Amino acid sequence: MQEKRNHKPLLYKLLLAVFCMFLFAFALVPLYDTFCEVTGINGKTGGRIRAAIEEIDTSRIIRLEFITHNNQEMPWEFYVTQPYIDLHPGEVKQVDFYARNPTDIDMVGQTIPSVSPGVGARYIKKTECFCFDFQPLKAGAEEVMPVVLFLDPKIPDHIEELTLSYTLFDITDRS
């Protein structure tokens, strides 16, 4: 007769492997964010920083363009007052964005920034940005939303132009 081998030890090891891979997939989410943050490759700008007094590099001028989008059917009016600014690396500037809720319901918006080319994202330093918070707007209300930013003087020489794009999402249901 053939000897009966106990299959359970191997079975349990394989089930454990399955479970670990399931968890690993969830671990990919923070790993992905960390990886993008460390390498700065995803076009995501960083959070609020305190205004550090940087040396202004007057030898260079970089053009920073702004674009605004409404996601899907977001009905707000949302635009930037200046399409672009020219600034020296290290120089602190303020740009105003304008939003109005034309509907007759109170809504909450959230803007998500993205930078192109993506490698430039980590050099845009914001000391103040409406994108850090939710934007509640009552029906018919309007608001001027400032961004205060400067460019890190370490920004690579080949970057002469950057585009900062803001997409406005409707998160009324979420909040």
Partner 1 sequence: MGDHHHGPAKGLSRWLLTTNHKDIGTLYLWFAFIMFLVGGAFAMVIRMELFQPGNQLVSPNTFNQLTTMHGLIMVFGAIMPAFTGFANWLIPMMVGAPDMALPRMNNWSFWILPFAFAILLSSWFMDGGAPNFGWTFYAPLSTQGPPSTDFFILSVHMMGISSIMGAINVIVTIFNMRAPGMTLMKMPIFCWSWLITAFLLIAVMPILAAAVTMLLTDRNFGTSFFDAAGGGDPVLFQHIFWFFGHPEVYIMILPAFGIVSEILPTFTRKRLFGRVSMIYAIVAIAGLSFIVWAHHMFTTGMPVIAGLFFMYATMLIAVPTGVKIFNWAATIFRGALTFETPMLFALGFVFLFTIGGFSGLMLALIPADIQYHDTYFVVAHFHYVLVSGALFSIFAGAYYWLPKWTGTMYNETLGKFHFWLSAISFNITFFPMHFMGLAGMPRRIPDYALQFADFNRISSIGSFVFGLSQLLFLYIIIQAIRGKGKKATDEVWDDHPRGLEWTLSSPPAYHTFETPPSEKLVEEHH
Q: How far is Cα 65 from Cα 69, in angstroms, rounded to an integer?
A: 14
Judged by beta carbon, residue 42 or residue 68, the one nearer partner 1 is: 42
Q: How far is Cα 58 from Cα 68, in angstroms, rounded to an integer?
A: 29
Three-state DSSP class for residue 119: helix
Q: How far is Cα 57 from Cα 150, in angstroms, rounded to an integer?
A: 11
State the minimum distance, in angstroms, from the CB of residue 100 to partner 1. 19
Bridging pattern class, strands 84-87 and 161-170:
unpaired
Using CB under 8 A as the binding rule, whether residue 5 contacts partner 1 is answered as yes
User: Of 54, 60, 118, 127, which one interacts with partner 1 (CB under 8 A)?
Assistant: 118
Residue 155: which residues within 8 A CB-CB, separation 6 or more?
62, 89, 120, 123
Task: Looking at the chain, list the stretches that DSSP marks H as alpha helix, in order from N- to C-terminal side.
Answer: 8-39
State the minimum distance, in angstroms, from the CB of residue 29 to partner 1. 6
Residue closest to 74 by CA, chosen among 96, 98, 101, 97: 101
State the minimum distance, in angstroms, from the CB of residue 59 to partner 1. 27
Residue 9 preceded by cis peptide, ω within 30: no
State the minimum distance, in angstroms, from the CB of residue 9 to partner 1. 10
Using CB under 8 A as the binding rule, whether residue 169 contacts partner 1 is answered as yes
State the minimum distance, in angstroms, from the CB of residue 117 to partner 1. 9
Using CB under 8 A as the binding rule, whether residue 171 contacts partner 1 is answered as yes
Judged by beta carbon, residue 54 or residue 170, the one nearer partner 1 is: 170
Using CB under 8 A as the binding rule, whether residue 53 contacts partner 1 is answered as no
- Interface stretch with partner 1, choices 26-34, 56-64, 121-129, 156-164 (CB under 8 A): 26-34
Tell me which residue has tokens 């920034």: 113
- Please report, as ranges, the residues that interact with partner 1 according to CB under 8 A: 1-2, 5, 7, 10-11, 14-15, 17-19, 21-22, 24-26, 28-29, 32-33, 39, 41-43, 71, 110, 112, 118-119, 167, 169-171, 174
